[in-house]
């Protein structure tokens, strides 16, 4: 691990260090491989990263050097064509969060964020989730907002106080949750009012991408579709605002 320009972000460089980090359960945000890098260790890194849902990018030397310059004051070390950008937080496993909540006699309340890419929306959702009793946020391993300085600031530090689970397949995660007895709600403006949903049970709520909404396969897999009645025929609610309203309704019914 090298000293970064920003002390809150770290990178890991070198083939064996990255392999050992993944073996120990650490999950980089992404791994950059020099395009010309070859060998058994490079193959192993690709396979291990794919198994845990970590994005891998093959980049030219100029790009790799640019990334190193961005994160590290001293670039005079042998990276061996491998650089892993480490996360700001420690990601959890969805099944561990569910088990931990149930073992405490609590009904899990989870938010599944289907490719929400706006960092400020993500941070605002995290803040509401932490304040209103959610156990975790579940995000995809690729195509989600980065957890960076802006996300931390928008969340007012809440990302340090709520679990975040990063999963390779949200559809597989939804299927697991349903099998574990968690009721899954997809959100849509025309869904039945959230106030009419059952919240005193284990629940996971899917919130969709700012432009495309929820993926059709996730809507189909959900147990029900809920929404927030609004008076305007043309207006719509920001996804982070919707998250706060839905979480408040869940808390209201649970207390």
Kindly report the average pLDDT of the chain as a whole number: 89
Residue 73 pLDDT grade (very low, low, confident, very high; cuts 50, 70, 90) = low
Q: Is the pLDDT of residue 235 over 80?
A: no
Contacts of 242 by beta carbon, 8 Å cutoff, 6+ apart: 187, 207, 228
Percentage of the chain exceeding pLDDT 90: 65
CB 206 within 8 A of CB 187: yes
Q: Is the pLDDT of residue 48 over 50?
A: yes
| Pairing state between β 109-114 and 136-140 | parallel
Q: Which domains does the chain have, with CATH numbers?
A: 11-85 (3.30.1330.30), 94-254 (3.40.1280.10)
Residue 66 pLDDT grade (very low, low, confident, very high; cuts 50, 70, 90) = confident
Kindly state the average pLDDT of the residues 168-193. Answer: 96
Looking at residue 102, its pLDDT comes to 96
Residue 174 pLDDT grade (very low, low, confident, very high; cuts 50, 70, 90) = very high
pLDDT tens digits, one per residue of 115-142: 999 999 999 999 999 999 999 999 998 8
CB 146 within 8 A of CB 239: no
Higher pLDDT: 4 or 246? It is 246
- Tell me the H-state helices in the chain: 15-23, 40-52, 61-71, 94-103, 119-131, 149-154, 170-179, 216-221, 239-254
Q: Is the pLDDT of residue 75 over 70?
A: no
């Amino acid at each position: 691990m090298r000293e970064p320009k920003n002390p809150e972000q770290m990178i890991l460089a070198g083939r064996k260090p990255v392999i050992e980090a993944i073996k120990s359960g650490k999950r980089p945000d992404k791994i950059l491989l020099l395009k010309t890098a070859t060998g058994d260790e490079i193959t192993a890194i690709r396979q291990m990263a794919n198994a845990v849902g970590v994005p891998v990018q093959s980049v030219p030397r100029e790009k790799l050097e640019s990334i190193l310059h961005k994160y590290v004051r001293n670039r005079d070390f042998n990276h061996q064509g491998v650089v892993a950008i480490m996360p700001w937080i420690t990601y959890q496993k969805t099944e561990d969060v569910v088990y931990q909540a149930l073992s405490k006699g609590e009904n899990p309340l989870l938010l599944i964020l289907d490719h929400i890419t706006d960092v400020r929306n993500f941070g605002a959702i995290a803040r509401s989730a932490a304040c209103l009793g959610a156990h975790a946020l579940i995000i995809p391993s690729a195509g989600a907002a980065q957890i960076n300085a802006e996300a931390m600031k928008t969340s007012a530090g809440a990302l340090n106080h709520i679990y975040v689970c990063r999963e390779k397949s949200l559809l597989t995660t939804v299927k697991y949750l349903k099998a574990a007895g968690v009721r899954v709600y997809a959100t849509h403006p025309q869904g039945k009012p959230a106030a009419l949903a059952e919240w005193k049970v284990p629940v996971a709520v899917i919130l969709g991408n700012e432009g495309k909404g929820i993926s059709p396969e996730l809507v189909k897999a959900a147990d029900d579709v809920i929404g927030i009645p609004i008076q305007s025929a043309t207006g719509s609610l920001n996804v982070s605002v919707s998250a706060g309203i839905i979480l408040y309704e869940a808390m209201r019914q649970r207390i």
